[in-house]
């Protein structure tokens, strides 16, 4: 069924689910015809003389101040793509790195920001959530069908926009760490999750709880740790008050953990290696400090441990692997065992403020942007 733009607007209002978060966004705006526009180079999927739309644009490389809501042309839907009317976008640290020019493959500005979204698929009118590299934070985006998933009936668009990056990343972290396999020695496996109160962190706690893992987590706030304990965290470590390497040593009687989900980089990679027990694994999925990971090779040798990288951008191109992950994740969703944690919902015009929340580590769970 082909859905006209006005029908899509009606559907978006009728199908938007309520969410406990406080809305501070802008009211949806009707799209109007506009003279042909051309966005400057480096704007994937944006060209031509179609209707103008609102989008959050990275105007130049830099911090949150480089973001602006601009009129841009609607994307041309290419072969093997579908159009999605976007209603909400999930913010990730990778978006901050992209705005700064530090994410691999970042196009030259100006370009449309965002890699995670939820909205209405134009050709079917179904509610979907999806993943892309950029151009998600716009009223319409061109998406790959294999990277779209149905939104659960009882979820809001804001919850759906908080799912793809967080939960696929957390799932693959446990998969790489071997937690999805039956343990050979039947001992309870331990995991240390850095930034445990963030988007990926809260997702990893929920999945770890399902898998029966003993979960340790670091955060900068006692309040965040207390809220994360409600999701299944057993051992919270405030890294501003305690050295987490020493805390892990004390809490595990000197044994260490089986896996560390590490996204800080710099010296934290070496410290995390020293938190492992024999045959443990570091799953490195980011470098939020902006520093290259430091490796303590002697500690790796001494524990027969290893470091493995995780990059969702790469894994998202592995259709069989993504389908396998979705099969398990969707089963847990149907059972009510996974629920995205949305901490803040802000309007598109406050995108800079949203980015600042992540930079200052003030978010709990996911920061979501509403798209007008």
200 Cβ contact partners less than 8 Å away, ≥ 6 residues apart = 165, 166, 169, 170, 173, 261, 263, 285
CA angle 143, 149, 151 (to 5 degrees): 120
- The predicted model gives 54-78 an average pLDDT of 96
Range from 42-46, 297-301, 352-356 carrying the lowest mean pLDDT: 42-46
Whole-number Å distance between alpha carbons of 170 and 261: 9
Arithmetic mean of pLDDT, 119-141:
97
Residue 3: which pLDDT band, with cuts at 50, 70 and 90? very low
Q: What is the mean pLDDT of residues 305-325?
A: 97
User: How many Å apart are CA 184 and CA 264, to the nearest integer?
Assistant: 31
**What are the phi and psi torsion angles at 278 (to 5°)?**
-50, 135
> pLDDT digits over 325-335, tens only?
999 999 999 99
Distance CA 8, CA 183 (A): 49
36 has pLDDT over 50: no
Q: How far is CA 173 from the centre of its chain?
A: 13
Q: Which two tokens stand for residue 198?
A: 């963030």
Whether pLDDT at 162 is above 70: yes
Position with higher pLDDT, 18 vs 117: 117
316 pLDDT above the threshold of 80: yes
Length of the chain, please?
372
Query: Tell me, what's the pLDDT at 184?
Result: 66
Q: What are φ and ψ of residue 176, in 5° steps? A: -65, -35
Residue 82 has pLDDT above 80, yes or no: yes
Please, how many CA atoms are within 13 Å of residue 83, restricted to the half-sphere of its CB?
A: 16
Least confident of 3-17, 72-86, 151-165: 3-17
CB neighbour list of residue 74: distance below 8 Å, 6 or more residues apart? 46, 50, 51, 52, 53, 139, 140
pLDDT score recorded for residue 255: 96
Q: Where are the alpha helices (DSSP H) in the chain?
A: 5-15, 93-100, 157-161, 164-177, 199-211, 222-229, 244-251, 267-274, 297-303, 312-315, 319-334, 351-359
pLDDT of residue 37: 32
Q: What digits encode the pLDDT tens for the residues 274-302?
A: 999 999 999 999 988 889 999 999 999 99
Q: 208, 210, 199, 209: which is closest to 219 by C-alpha? A: 199
d(CA 125, CA 137): 19
Q: Which residues pair with 112 in a beta bridge?
A: 57
Tokens 């979907």 locate to 128
Domains plus CATH for the chain?
Answer: 5-162+342-370 (3.90.180.10), 167-313 (3.40.50.720)
How high is the mean pLDDT of the chain?
Answer: 87
């Amino acid at each position: 069924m082909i859905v006209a733009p006005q029908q899509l607007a009606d559907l978006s209002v009728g199908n938007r689910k309520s969410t406990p978060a406080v809305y501070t966004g802008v009211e949806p705006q009707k799209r109007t015809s506009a003279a042909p526009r051309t966005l400057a180079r480096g704007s994937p999927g944006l060209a031509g003389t179609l209707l103008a739309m609102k989008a959050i644009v990275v105007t130049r490389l830099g911090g949150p101040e480089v973001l602006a809501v601009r009129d841009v042309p609607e994307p041309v839907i290419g072969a093997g793509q579908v159009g999605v009317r976007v209603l909400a976008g999930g913010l990730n640290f990778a978006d901050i790195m992209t705005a700064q020019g530090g994410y691999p493959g970042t196009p030259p500005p100006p370009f449309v920001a965002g890699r995670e979204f939820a909205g209405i698929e134009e050709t079917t009118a179904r509610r979907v959530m999806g993943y892309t590299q950029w151009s998600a934070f716009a009223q319409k985006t061109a998406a790959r069908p294999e990277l779209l998933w149905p939104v659960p009936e009882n979820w809001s668009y804001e919850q759906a926009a908080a799912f793809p990056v967080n939960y696929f990343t957390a799932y693959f972290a446990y998969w790489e760490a071997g937690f999805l396999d039956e343990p050979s020695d039947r001992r309870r496996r331990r995991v240390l999750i850095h930034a445990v109160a963030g988007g990926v962190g809260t997702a990893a706690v929920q999945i770890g709880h399902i898998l029966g893992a003993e979960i340790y987590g670091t955060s900068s706030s006692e309040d965040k740790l207390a809220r994360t304990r409600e999701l299944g965290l057993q051992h919270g470590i405030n890294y501003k008050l305690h050295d987490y390497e020493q805390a892990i040593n004390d809490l595990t009687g000197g044994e260490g953990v089986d896996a560390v989900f590490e996204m800080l980089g710099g010296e934290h990679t070496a410290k995390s290696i020293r938190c492992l027990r024999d045959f443990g694994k570091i799953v490195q999925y980011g470098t939020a400090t902006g520093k290259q990971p430091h490796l303590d090779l002697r500690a790796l040798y001494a524990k027969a441990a290893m470091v493995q990288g995780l990059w969702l951008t790469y894994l998202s191109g592995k259709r069989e692997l993504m389908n396998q992950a979705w099969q398990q994740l969707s089963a847990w969703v149907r059972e009510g065992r996974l629920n995205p944690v949305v901490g803040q919902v802000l309007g598109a015009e406050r995108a800079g403020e949203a980015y600042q929340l992540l930079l200052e580590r003030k978010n709990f769970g996911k920061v979501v942007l509403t798209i007008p």
